[in-house]
């Protein structure tokens, strides 16, 4: 698969990466990266022939600008190496902390195989996307937070605060830190976010932030249909030594945004206020469920760090279903964080838990081109998966009330199946076992809590 990604990198121009690089160069030169339109006579370094609207925050563009002046072909190849390096490093960090060496090796291998053959990763590398950066920052923050020391929480909070300024939906990670009694981590994240935002407001200039907000709140952005059409402009055939900047690979995938799914099923797209209202309801319901479950715990969980990052990642993924006018499959790369952390806490000798986890992996890989045509032909794979998964998780967790109503959304895409499975596992951390009717055994969390030593990296 590495050779396939290398071939795609050399053959195609990385349309998303080109827009990111051009946006960073524009910001560095004092131009507006969100409304700039290239015209003949401008420098080729500022030309994105696809004219996709830049959606990165000024904080991320400023950071990108530290290397953006390098020749684009060099950046393209360097980012191919960078993506694979960050992937392997992130998987290793997530898998090795708070678990046995044997399980760490298994989790690393399974996750690497699952993502390496996944079209989400194929598209991520070919387009030159940045979601693996957030995965790596979350992995690093998880490593520091797992130490459960003041310095560890401060370092984790600093990383999360910087990440929030670069990717605002990551601010939702603060919710589980508060609900799961990791106040020190929550306060460190909040303080780092404020300080980082103040820094980026200065270095990236307030005007850029104003333009960014204007772009994100505009009707055109909310009803995004693709690149800017400018037939009156003739672009050079070769730009910075490359003639493939508009070429893209044909990679199987679907738009799983709430906006697109609703429009496909009803013929009408929900308005931005409707999407925001639905998102707030969804986040509030899950936060209430998490809060009520955590209150029943006798004290801080030994694995609360894992649960913070599982539930926080879930909240971010759900939010992006609502806020993205188009949701491309490369966003699913972020699912690696909860998938690995869930795998670390599967009870030994439990076929039901293993079966439910395999369903999660199946949902994650449901868009694989090896199976995509079969899924399309059957048409009911997601329904079957949800039916079996509901039964398996119900038996495993004893949570029928929370998980019985899955069928109304059973015909949606594989991403929804995976998110629902992650939701089920996150609930399983805090739900107590049913009390043994023949004994006075005390209730305990369903997923056994390991007793590893903090792993100092």
Q: What average pLDDT does the segment 365-382 reach?
A: 44
Alpha carbons 333 and 113: distance in angstroms, whole number: 13
Answer yes or no: is 44 within a domain: yes
In this predicted structure, which of 38-47, 179-188, 250-259 has the lowest mean pLDDT?
250-259
Alpha carbons 133 and 165: distance in angstroms, whole number: 13
Alpha carbons 260 and 51: distance in angstroms, whole number: 22
Nearest to 275 by CA among 322, 215, 219: 322
Q: Specify whether 20 is located in the same domain as 156.
A: yes
Answer yes or no: is 95 within a domain: yes
Tokens 């059957």: give the residue: 378
Q: Specify whether 256 is located in the same domain as 371.
A: no
Q: What average pLDDT does the segment 209-235 reach?
A: 69
Q: What average pLDDT does the segment 200-219 reach?
A: 88
Q: Specify whether 371 is located in the same domain as 301.
A: no
Alpha carbons 421 and 406: distance in angstroms, whole number: 11
Q: Specify whether 128 is located in the same domain as 183.
A: yes
- The percent of residues above 90 in pLDDT, for the chain, comes to 37
What are the tens digits of pLDDT across the range 186-203?
Answer: 999 999 999 999 999 999
Can you give the pLDDT at residue 435? 37
Answer yes or no: is 48 within a domain: yes
Answer yes or no: is 446 within a domain: no
Q: Specify whether 166 is located in the same domain as 18.
A: yes
Provide the mean pLDDT of the chain. 78
Alpha carbons 350 and 352: distance in angstroms, whole number: 5
Q: Which of 84-88, 388-392, 398-402, 419-423 has the highest average model confidence (pLDDT)?
A: 84-88
Q: Specify whether 399 is located in the same domain as 265.
A: no
Segments in 324-368 forming alpha helices (H)? 336-343, 351-364
Q: Specify whether 327 is located in the same domain as 197.
A: yes
Its pTM stands at 0.82
Answer yes or no: is 356 within a domain: yes
pLDDT at 404 over 90: no
Alpha carbons 290 and 284: distance in angstroms, whole number: 10
In this predicted structure, which of 21-35, 123-137, 230-244 has the lowest mean pLDDT?
230-244
Answer yes or no: is 126 within a domain: yes
Can you give the pLDDT at residue 31? 94
Alpha carbons 336 and 364: distance in angstroms, whole number: 9
Answer yes or no: is 188 within a domain: yes
Tokens 């949570």: give the residue: 399
Answer yes or no: is 231 within a domain: no
Q: Specify whether 351 is located in the same domain as 277.
A: no
What are the tens digits of pLDDT across the range 54-88?
Answer: 889 999 999 999 999 999 999 999 999 999 999 99
Is residue 350 a contact partner of residue 395, using CB atoms and an 8 Å limit? no
pLDDT band at 221 (very low <50, low <70, confident <90, very high): very low
pLDDT at 107 over 80: yes
pLDDT at 120 over 90: no
pLDDT band at 367 (very low <50, low <70, confident <90, very high): low
Q: Specify whether 129 is located in the same domain as 211.
A: yes
Alpha carbons 105 and 98: distance in angstroms, whole number: 13
Can you give the pLDDT at residue 296? 64
Is residue 306 a contact partner of residue 449, using CB atoms and an 8 Å limit? no
If one counts the domains in the chain, the total is 2
Can you give the pLDDT at residue 428? 61
Nearest to 54 by CA among 18, 14, 23, 13: 23
Q: Which domain covers residue 369, as residue numbers?
A: 347-435
Q: What average pLDDT does the segment 367-380 reach?
A: 41
Concatenating the DSSP letter of every residue in 204-244 gives S-HHHHHHHHHHHHSHHHHT--SSPP-TTPPPPSSBTTBS-
Q: Specify whether 330 is located in the same domain as 356.
A: no
Alpha carbons 271 and 128: distance in angstroms, whole number: 30
Q: Specify whether 87 is located in the same domain as 161.
A: yes
| Greater model confidence, 234 or 222 | 234
Q: Specify whether 374 is located in the same domain as 389.
A: yes
Can you give the pLDDT at residue 182? 87
């Amino acid at each position: 698969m590495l050779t396939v990604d290398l071939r795609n990198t050399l053959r195609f121009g990385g349309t998303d990466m080109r827009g990111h690089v051009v946006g960073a160069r524009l910001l560095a030169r004092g131009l507006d990266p969100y409304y700039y339109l290239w015209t003949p006579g401008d420098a080729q370094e500022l030309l994105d022939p696809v004219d996709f609207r830049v959606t990165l925050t000024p904080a991320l563009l400023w950071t990108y600008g530290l290397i953006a002046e390098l020749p684009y072909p060099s950046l393209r190849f360097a980012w191919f190496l960078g993506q694979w390096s960050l992937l392997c490093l992130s998987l290793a960090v997530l898998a090795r902390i708070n678990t046995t060496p044997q399980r760490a090796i298994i989790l690393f291998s399974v996750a690497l195989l699952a993502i390496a053959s996944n079209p989400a990763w194929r598209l991520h590398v070919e387009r030159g996307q940045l979601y693996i950066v957030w995965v790596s920052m979350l992995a690093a923050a998880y490593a520091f937070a797992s130490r459960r020391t003041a310095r560890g929480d401060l370092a984790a909070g600093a990383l999360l605060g910087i990440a929030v300024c670069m990717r605002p939906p990551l601010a939702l990670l603060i919710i589980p830190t508060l609900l799961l009694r990791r106040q020190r981590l929550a306060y460190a994240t909040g303080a780092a976010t404020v300080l980082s935002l103040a820094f980026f407001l200065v270095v990236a200039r307030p005007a850029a932030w104003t333009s960014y907000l204007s772009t994100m709140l505009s009707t055109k952005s909310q009803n995004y249909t693709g690149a800017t059409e400018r037939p009156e402009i003739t672009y050079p055939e070769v730009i910075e030594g490359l003639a493939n900047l508009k070429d893209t690979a044909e990679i199987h995938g679907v738009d799983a945004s709430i906006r697109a799914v609703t429009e496909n099923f009803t013929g009408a797209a929900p308005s931005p206020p409707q999407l925001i209202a639905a998102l707030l309801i969804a986040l509030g319901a899950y936060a209430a469920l998490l809060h009520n479950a955590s209150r029943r715990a006798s004290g801080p969980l030994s694995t609360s760090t894992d649960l913070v990052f599982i539930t926080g990642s879930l909240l971010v993924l759900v939010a992006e279903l609502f806020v993205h006018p188009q949701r491309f499959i490369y966003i699913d790369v972020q699912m690696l964080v909860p998938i690995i952390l869930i795998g670390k806490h599967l009870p030994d000798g439990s076929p039901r838990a293993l079966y439910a986890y395999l369903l999660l992996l199946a949902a994650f890989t449901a868009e694989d081109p090896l199976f995509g045509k079969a899924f399309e032909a059957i048409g009911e794979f997601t329904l079957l998966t949800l039916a079996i998964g509901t039964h398996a998780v119900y038996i495993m967790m004893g949570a029928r009330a929370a998980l019985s109503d899955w069928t109304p959304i059973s015909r949606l895409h594989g991403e929804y199946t995976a998110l629902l499975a992650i939701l089920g596992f996150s609930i399983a951390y805090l739900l107590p076992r049913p009390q043994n009717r023949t004994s006075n055994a005390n209730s305990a969390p369903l997923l056994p809590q390991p007793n590893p030593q903090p792993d100092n990296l």
